Amino acid sequence: EVQLVQSGADVKKPGESLRISCKGSGYRFTGYWIAWVRQMPGKGLEWVGIINPADSDTRYSPSFQGQVTISADKSINTAYLQWSSLKASDTAMYYCARQTSASNIAYWGQGALVTVSS
């Protein structure tokens, strides 16, 4: 069974760093791109970026380029989304998801709520 299990909720202060994780199981981790999607409170879904765990080829949405870093460790089947200096506006639910083919993104993590507040 394909599963994506994300790290738990985090509460941070502005300026702090954070790395959230997404562990894949039940499939060949290096065979599929992993996407990160943000949902701010009361807002819609937004693409953050996507990574190929096989070679760490990474693409970012223009809104997130330079604001976050996406990485993957294929030895432990885990993808990451990290911030070096959080802002209050980073408060959101973040989902990871597996791209099966083109527009087919059928497997999603349970989401990780990031709260940034002083």
Partner 1 sequence: QSALTQPASVSGSPGQSITISCTGTSSDVGGYNFVAWYQHHPGKAPKLMIYDVANRPSGVSSRFSGSKSGNTASLTISGLQAEDEADYYCNSYTSSTTLGWVFGGGTKLTVL
Applying CB under 8 A, which of residues 13, 28, 59, 87 lies at the interface with partner 1? 59
Count the Cβ atoms, other than its own, within 10 Å of residue 31: 12
Among 2, 9, 11, 45, binds partner 1 (CB under 8 A): 45
Of 67, 69, 111, 115, the one binding partner 1 (CB under 8 A) is 111
Out of 8, 66, 104, 118, point to the residue binding partner 1 (CB under 8 A): 104
Residue 106 touches partner 1, criterion: CB under 8 A: yes
Strand ranges across the sheet with 78-83: 3-6, 18-25, 78-83, 69-73
With CB under 8 A as the contact rule, the residue among 10, 12, 27, 46 that binds partner 1 is: 46
What whole-number distance in Å separates Cα of residue 118 and Cα of residue 43? Answer: 22
Q: How far is the CB of 21 from partner 1 (least distance, A)?
A: 16
Q: Which stretch binds partner 1 (CB under 8 A): 15-23, 24-32, 44-52, 78-86?
A: 44-52
Phi-psi bin for 48: left (phi > 0), alpha (psi -120 to 50), beta? alpha
Instruction: Output the six-digit token pair for 69.
Output: 């870093």
Residues near partner 1 (CB under 8 A) = 35, 37, 44-47, 49-50, 59-62, 95, 97, 102-106, 108-111
